[in-house]
Amino acid sequence: MTGVPKIDKPRHSDTVQRGMSVIVKIAGKSSALRHEVEVILGERIKDVAVYESLVGAELGKGDILIVVGDDRDVLQTLHTVSHIDAAVLAVSREASRGFLSQVMLEDLPDALEKIRSGQFSMEGITALEVRIDEHNPVIAINEAALFSQISATLVEYSLHIDGELLWRDLADGLIISTPLGSSGYSLSAGGPLIHHAARALAIVPVNSIDMTRRPLIVGDKSLISVESISSRGGAEVIVDGLLRIPVDEGLVVKAFEPPIKLIRLNGPSPIFSKIEKKIHLAEELLDTPPSAKLILKTIEYEGPLTYSQLLKKTMLPERTLRHALNILVSKRLLARRPLTRDARQKLYYIPAGELTGEPRASE
């Protein structure tokens, strides 16, 4: 792969219109959201096909897929269509810190008009191909993270770049991140911000016992191998916060080919304003205790959690947990609402379009 090349935009509207299908994918099976999309599109609804699931949808090379939802919905869709040479436009229902959304839902008709008239470009973004224990590879848009399956347990591993041993380490974990993912969990673990057009990947040790283990930037043509993995209770690889895959021996990571295509509408890129928000967030966290940062990291990666789930996952004392939650809520970095199935419990979440539903009953 040659990095994140710019893909030439269509030269005129006829090129866009001939042989191109526009499909709108809405998050979940929500009749209310489907109705909202149909009302907003109005007469333009006849020019698109609206789906709640892409099973059975005829999506092929050169088509455009519009995903209405938060970043998690977009990531799930990209995992599904990564093998198809189609371009994706992310549409959000509300303001979000996410990097993927390009337009708001109410602006979708104008966005469709720009697409039809060729006023857009397609940007190739770097994704990861992650092969775990010789199994079939999976795709990561943001990152692949190695952690123990038991909270507060160290992982031992050796890191190899292009076949050469770089280091052996004992740490809380290891994150391998794309430029797009560098503003997420990797950043909160001490990793660098990488410009979205950079031809690079980030390797970030998480709380290593060796202070010389620092975040490492490698080229996007590098072959990254993590071997000799050992952890009490077993280790797992977490892909984009969506997939949890147990790992016994090791994983191999490289840039995925071809690049994932995202549609960028003509005009100022929203990327830099969102990076600025990330910097402001980091400044807000400077005077917060480590327990609050741990909670924020956990919810950012796990999704919305109840108090009892946070107690179990963070292993913090109850008094410490309550104090840290109060700080995060007062700073509006977290919000809470009653749990639908039990109003006595509160669900804590990041109020930035990251709420994806109730926690699983098994948790």
Question: How far apart are the C-alpha atoms of 182 and 185, rounded to whole Å?
Answer: 7
Query: Is position 71 annotated as part of the catalytic site?
Result: yes
- For residue 104, give the 3-state DSSP assignment: strand
**Is there a contact between 301 and 238 (Cβ–Cβ < 8 Å)?**
yes
303: which 2 tokens? 């999704």
Q: Is the dihedral of CA 97, 100, 105, 108 positive or negative?
A: positive
* Distance from the Cα of residue 142 to its chain's centroid: 5
CA distance 179 to 202: 8
Q: Tell me how far apart the alpha carbons of residues 203 and 79 are, in angstroms, rounded to a whole number.
A: 22
- Show Cβ contacts of residue 273 under 8 Å, excluding neighbours closer than 6 positions: none
Pairing of strands 120-125, 6-7: antiparallel
The residue from 71, 73, 169, 172 that is catalytic is 71
Q: Which residues carry out catalysis?
A: 71
